[in-house]
């Protein structure tokens, strides 16, 4: 009889140990997932049509938070200058307002709290102008089969050449006719870049690398 009670007690302790082990395992897994998201990889939802046709509204992407020094053509998530916040964007250059002959080449001094996702079309030191939505970089047109054409909007043409400042990146949306981007509020300092988007996982029909 005593042996039977001891066996039952051992089974209860074993079951309790299994439950505790499961709880600890789940807690560790959740902690690791949170740590990975906070430090390494973070998901983002596409909020607008500014990156069409490459990225559509509500599409989900993963961003490498360790990669904050993007290459030309990378799609990046970043904080724009606070000049991007008003309905009418604000350029940090006092000469802005030159009849749209030159894109904004100076950002306002502090970042916005919002996040944007755009493509890098100009690296530090690049000389840029914009013709019908196409970037002319260092005298050569960009290879831009991925863009949606600009249309007849005057914001599609900035013929005067400007230079991207050191340590900063010029961002534009692939949907050139509707994108709110560096053309209007200036280049983005590297320290405001959150990371490079490298994978899309939703919708399933677009599953794959970027």
Query: Which of the residues 12, 42, 50, 93 is marked catalytic?
Result: 50
What is the distance between the alpha carbons of residues 141 and 158, in angstroms, rounded to a whole number?
A: 14
Residue 50: active-site member: yes
Query: Which of the residues 118, 155, 179, 182 is marked catalytic?
Result: 118
Residue located via tokens 């502090």: 110
For residue 68, the tally of other CB atoms under 10 A from its CB is 15
DSSP, collapsed to helix, strand or coil, labels residue 202 as strand
Residue 147: DSSP 8-state: S
Sort strands 116-122 and 75-78 into parallel, antiparallel or unpaired: antiparallel
What is the distance between the alpha carbons of residues 106 and 91, in angstroms, rounded to a whole number?
A: 6
Q: Which two tokens stand for residue 162?
A: 């400007």
Residue 118: active-site member: yes
* Catalytic residue annotation: 50, 118
């Amino acid at each position: 009889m005593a042996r039977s009670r001891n066996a039952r007690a051992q089974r209860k302790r074993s079951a309790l140990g299994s439950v505790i082990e499961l709880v600890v395992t789940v807690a560790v897994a959740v902690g690791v997932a949170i740590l990975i998201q906070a430090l390494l990889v973070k998901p983002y939802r596409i909020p607008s049509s500014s990156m069409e046709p490459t990225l559509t509204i509500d599409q989900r992407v993963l961003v490498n938070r360790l990669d904050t020094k993007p290459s030309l053509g990378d799609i990046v998530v970043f904080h724009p200058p606070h000049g991007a916040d008003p309905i009418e964007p604000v350029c940090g250059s006092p000469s802005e307002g030159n009849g749209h002959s030159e894109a904004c080449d100076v950002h306002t001094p502090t970042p916005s709290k919002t996040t944007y996702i755009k493509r890098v079309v100009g690296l530090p030191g690049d000389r840029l102008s914009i013709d019908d939505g196409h970037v002319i970089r260092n005298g050569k047109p960009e290879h831009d089969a991925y863009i949606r054409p600009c249309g007849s909007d005057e914001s599609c043409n900035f013929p005067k050449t400007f230079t991207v400042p050191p340590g900063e990146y010029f961002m534009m949306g692939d949907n050139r006719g509707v994108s709110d981007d560096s053309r209007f509020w200036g280049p983005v300092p590297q320290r405001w870049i959150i990371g490079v988007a490298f994978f899309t996982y939703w919708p399933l029909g677009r599953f794959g690398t970027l």
